[in-house]
Structure 1
Amino acid sequence: MRIATWVVCLAATLASGCTSAPLRQMDAVDALMQRYQGKVPGASLLVIKDGKALVRRGYGLADLETGTPAAPATNYRLASVTKQFTAASILLLAQDGRVGLDDPIRRWLPSLPPTADGITIRHLLTHTGGLIDYEDIMSPDTRVPLRDADVLKLLEGERRTYFPPGSSYRYSNGGYSLLSLVVEKASGMSFQSFLKQRIFLPLGMTNTLAYVQGGPPVPNRAFGYSLIDGRWTRTDQSMTSAVLGDGGIYSSIDDLAKWDAALYDDRLLSDESRRLAFHPWTKTDDPTIEYGFGWRITGETLWHSGETIGFRNVIVRYPRRHFTVVLLTSRNDPEPYRTALDIADVFVGAGKH
């Protein structure tokens, strides 16, 4: 099926609100999603094959206090699923000729200390820069949520690195926070505005946004919860929740369906930019996983999880099969990656690969 036809099929499916999975498969999916059903923090699940939504539905509640059910349009804080959008922003600026992937980070953020010499944008994209984790050096007395500029201030005073740039891998939220500041410097726009103007609006992701307190509210918002002493307690925000580059986007399965479709053609990213994003640039601390630009790579899959206080999410793409599972949840447990793989097995027998 041609890419353009997939887009038409996807649009029709989302507009109709229907799913097309056989009853046997839906029963298997519902069994896997049973823990999210009822008056508990819920989830939204999307399964796409050849641009057609086989499953598109919510389970449980998006807001326990009001009893609002989770739905396909419910917006969840994506946490580190955000990183693929931050990486795409850098790639768009590279396409524009405004940023070079091998630019030293201090070219764009000169207030970083000399210990950052040698760290490039490419290193930050692949978590190979060696930056100290900002979560480990922020004050335990922090009472005002950090923003990306605050992450930069913390790292300005840090004279250590974990390793020389490019010599190893260590997952770095701070690196992606700094990348959002590079986007701002290179584009002359706020990061949230760049995302909206260059990614979300062109793709029709009209309910997706990088959430900033005092800015536009999150529509159809899910609130995050944690199981504490046997009760679900709202734990929606932490002192790092306002950092945008590493995890601040809110989106829904309906909007992520549009994002997934755009990753098959050049409507947003060029062929070369997508090749760069999906290339296994480095091994990680898991021998089964390599890392691209904002994407983990395992066998035939491109995927990324996102975990933050009250939210656990994952997107798993099988590009050669034109198949994707997106599972967004508003709770601290369980981690949904394994569930997404099991759901993939129901449809294409691909989850274990």
Structure 2
Amino acid sequence: MGMNSGRGMHRPVRRLIASLGIGALLSACAMTPHRQAQGTDALQREVDTLMRDYQGQVPGASVLVLRDGHALLRRGYGLAVVETDEAASARTNYRLASVTKQFTAAAVLLLAQDGTLGLDDPIKRWLPSLPKAADAITIRQILSHQSGLIDYEDAMPASFDADRRQMHDLDVLHVLEGQNRTYFAPGQGYRYSNSGYALLALTVQRASGRSFAGFLRERIFLPLGMRDTVAYERGVSEVAHRAYGYSDEQGRWVRTDQSSTSAVLGDGGIYSSIDDLAKWDAALYDDRLLSDASRTLAFTAHTPTDVADVGYGYGWRITGETLWHSGETMGFRNVIVRWPRRRLTVVVLSNRNEPEPYRLALAIGRVYLAESPVRGP
């Protein structure tokens, strides 16, 4: 997928993960010899050094480190809005891109808990206009990217780019209605699918009788106190404390905040801040939102992916003891990495096209891992 498009794992990211030798890196982090306890200031200085490229009059980032629900580090670097010199902060809201998928998956799991839908429902129960090739595809397969659905970004009409129109989730359905084929038989392979998560958003809407954005707000964001988080719809909602996205073009930062696919909500349309994501992270440890059974489903690797040592759950990647997901779209690069048995989480949200911050989050995690003992399962 191109940089200007969606929220998938782009080829450069796959190469990055493969080159890191993730299993070995995470093991090294876990086995780091215990250091003498360092003061908060000393640890923050280590992170500041890691974040040096985000400091100053440049598109920035917000970084959160949580242990046992307490913020060990919570700060912004650089600028949320370059044109006005507005600084990035803990309240700055970034476009999450594919970090959105864990919320889409949670919405589906909530409806399954309610008994409103079943994970083994054929997707055509809810979206009957899909072609015959989708007959055997289930919601469960879509959640873990085992559906074989065609990528909408490869099939979307050229008019969306030419006319600067934006795709919406319903447009994704219309594109797929004309694709009577799949990449493989459902359940017989893995291919990361933004199409699938757009269809899940429509399924949530049809099963609940509410808009997808409204369902997220009423069932997830407001109950958790995530008051500034929003599935953004231009002309319908606003983004408080908004960061705008930028790309480096020949050494100059140029605003590149929206693309033709930026209005698709299910695969990447949420804006949030590190402050609100701290509340989301807390809810992933207990049953205030999702039941134990639902969280187990979300956090279990149901399939290997196309990267060694990385499995996929429902909206989460699983590598070793970590649960994580990155998000990439035009002008934004984000990642959340959780070490649940150590009660440690690192979030990096940035409003620039490069670099992908997964390796950076692991390095930040390494600063704190030595003082995070492994807990029970």
Offset from partner CA, 1:140-185 (integer Å, 9 cap, x none): 3312100000000000000121000000000000000000000001
In the alignment, what sits opposite 1:311?
332
User: In the aligned structure 1, how far is the partner of 2:316 from the partner of 2:371?
Assistant: 18
In the alignment, what sits opposite 2:322?
301
For 2:213, what is the secondary structure of its paired residue?
helix
In the alignment, what sits opposite 2:8?
none
Please say if 1:185 is aligned against 2:203. Answer: no
2:168 counterpart letter in structure 1: R
In the alignment, what sits opposite 1:88?
106
Q: 1:269 to 1:172 in 2, by over 3 A?
A: same
In the alignment, what sits opposite 2:234?
213
Superposed displacement of residue 287, structure 1: 1.3
User: In the aligned structure 1, how far is the partner of 2:203 from the partner of 2:142?
Assistant: 11
**Percent pairwise identity:** 66
If the length of structure 2 is used for normalisation, what is the TM-score?
Answer: 0.87
In the alignment, what sits opposite 2:142?
124
Please say if 1:59 is aligned against 2:77. Answer: yes
Q: Root-mean-square deviation (CA), in Å?
A: 1.4
If asked which structure has higher relative contact order (CA below 8 Å, sep 6+), I would say: 2
In the alignment, what sits opposite 2:157?
139
1:154 counterpart letter in structure 2: V
Superposed displacement of residue 303, structure 1: 0.3
In the alignment, what sits opposite 1:38?
56
Superposed displacement of residue 349, structure 1: 4.2
In the alignment, what sits opposite 1:174?
195
Is residue 98–residue 327 contact of structure 2 (8 Å, CA) maintained in 1? yes
In the alignment, what sits opposite 1:341?
362
Is residue 21–residue 55 contact of structure 1 (8 Å, CA) maintained in 2? no
In the alignment, what sits opposite 1:13?
none
For 1:65, what is the secondary structure of its paired residue?
helix
Please say if 1:28 is aligned against 2:46. Answer: yes
If the length of structure 1 is used for normalisation, what is the TM-score?
Answer: 0.93
- Spell out structure 1 runs of 4+ moving beyond 6 A: none
Superposed displacement of residue 252, structure 1: 0.1
Superposed displacement of residue 117, structure 1: 1.1
1:276 is aligned, of 275, 294, 297, to: 297
User: Unaligned stretches of 5+ in structure 1?
Assistant: 1-19
For 2:101, what is the secondary structure of its paired residue?
helix
User: In the aligned structure 2, how far is the partner of 1:170 from the partner of 1:120?
Assistant: 15
Please say if 1:151 is aligned against 2:172. Answer: yes
Superposed displacement of residue 21, structure 1: 5.8
User: Unaligned stretches of 5+ in structure 2?
Assistant: 1-37, 373-377
Q: Which moved more, 1:302-311 or 1:22-31?
A: 22-31
Is residue 311–residue 330 contact of structure 1 (8 Å, CA) maintained in 2? yes
In the alignment, what sits opposite 1:251?
272
In the alignment, what sits opposite 2:261?
240
For 1:328, what is the secondary structure of its paired residue?
strand
Is residue 231–residue 270 contact of structure 2 (8 Å, CA) maintained in 1? yes
Q: 1:74 to 1:255 in 2, by over 3 A?
A: same
User: In the aligned structure 2, how far is the partner of 1:207 from the partner of 1:34?
Assistant: 28
Offset from partner CA, 1:283-314 (integer Å, 9 cap, x none): 00001100000000000000000000000000
User: In the aligned structure 2, how far is the partner of 1:164 from the partner of 1:205?
Assistant: 39
Is residue 344–residue 350 contact of structure 1 (8 Å, CA) maintained in 2? no
Is residue 21–residue 54 contact of structure 1 (8 Å, CA) maintained in 2? no
Is residue 159–residue 165 contact of structure 2 (8 Å, CA) maintained in 1? no
User: In the aligned structure 1, how far is the partner of 2:39 from the partner of 2:99?
Assistant: 26
User: In the aligned structure 2, how far is the partner of 1:255 from the partner of 1:215?
Assistant: 21
Superposed displacement of residue 269, structure 1: 0.3
Count of matched residue pairs: 333
For 1:203, what is the secondary structure of its paired residue?
coil
